[in-house]
Amino acid sequence: MIPLLPIALINTYWFALPLILAISLVYAASRHEEWPRILRHAARLFVMITGILVLATAILLAINTQV
Amino acid sequence: MDRPNPDLIPLKNRSKAAALALIWPGLGHLYQGRYAKGILYLICIFGLYAVGFALGEGANVYWTWVNPLRDAEHFRLYYLGQFWVGLPAWPALLQATLVHLGHQPILDGFMAAPLLEPGMNDEVRGVMEKVVNHAFSLHQKYGGLKEVGDIYTTIAGLLNVLAIYDAFEGPADRANPSAQASSSTDATAKAEEIGR
């Protein structure tokens, strides 16, 4: 196996981005056949999922720092 | 002369396409001639699975033949998602079956569940101890990355369910007439009507 130690130093939050990108593209591709539609839908979904996650993280962080 | 209608998506043999999509992400679409989508699914789904698999050094895709109601701790819930990636995840089924039947897992325990049972014979136990030690060493080496790998591989499998559905039924957006799908026979019949 390839050593992964340098990857272990990356904050795990960054691993969410490729995951969200893959989810957005595959979901959009399963909805449409034309590429402009797929890409537009995927971009919208990517922004929406990322936004919700950032918001949820911010709320949880705010609560945690007050406890 | 009959001309193919570009608005219709030829799904060819839909069951065959769905089966191919289940065997390997994107394969069903390549069979249907939907090459760009096939490559997109291959990169996104198989790529996600491959990265997740590498993050867990192959120790995060495994199955155990246990009853989840009796032994919830050893039941591998993630594999219910990972299974749908197809062939790349199926060796885990073979290894679990071999171990369940008391045989030694093949390929030095690759994709075997890291579990030691009291009833295992010495040969099987020798291989399984290596598998267990490898799985535990991952946490020490990479911390939470194994869990990221679990999530990547599981989500990849679940995304392939969407791809299988797309191969069988065509794109889900039926409101757009250009996204309408049909079987090859329907496509030919409609193309004939338009040609008249």
Instruction: For chain A, 67 residues long, give each residue's pLDDT as a single digit of tens.
Output: 555 567 777 888 899 999 999 999 999 999 999 999 999 999 999 999 999 999 999 999 999 988 7
Instruction: For chain B, 196 residues long, give each residue's pLDDT as a single digit of tens.
Output: 343 344 577 888 999 999 999 999 999 999 999 999 999 999 999 999 999 999 988 899 999 999 999 988 889 999 999 999 999 999 999 999 998 888 888 888 899 888 887 777 888 888 888 888 888 888 777 778 889 999 999 999 999 999 999 999 988 886 555 544 444 445 444 445 544 4
Which of A1, A32, A35 lies closest to B173 in CB terms?
A32
The per-residue pLDDT for range B124-162, each reduced to its tens digit, is 888 888 888 888 888 777 778 889 999 999 999 999 999
The per-residue pLDDT for range B88-100, each reduced to its tens digit, is 999 999 999 998 8
CB contact under 8 A, B148 and A23: no
Chain B contacts to A (CB-CB under 8 A)? 9, 34, 36-37, 40-41, 44-45, 47-48, 51, 54-55, 57-58, 141-145, 148, 151-152, 155-156, 159, 162-163, 165-166, 170-173, 176, 178-179, 181
Distance CA A45, CA A19 (A): 12
Chain B partners of A2 at a C-beta cutoff of 8 Å? 54
Please report, as a single letter, which amino acid is at residue B62: Y
Write down the domain spans for chain A.
16-62
Chain B partners of A33 at a C-beta cutoff of 8 Å? 9, 34, 37, 170-171, 178-179, 181
Cβ atoms of B156 and B163 within 8 Å: the answer is no
Query: Which stretches of chain B are assigned E, i.e. beta strand?
Result: 9-10, 181-182
Distance CA B150, CA B78 (A): 7
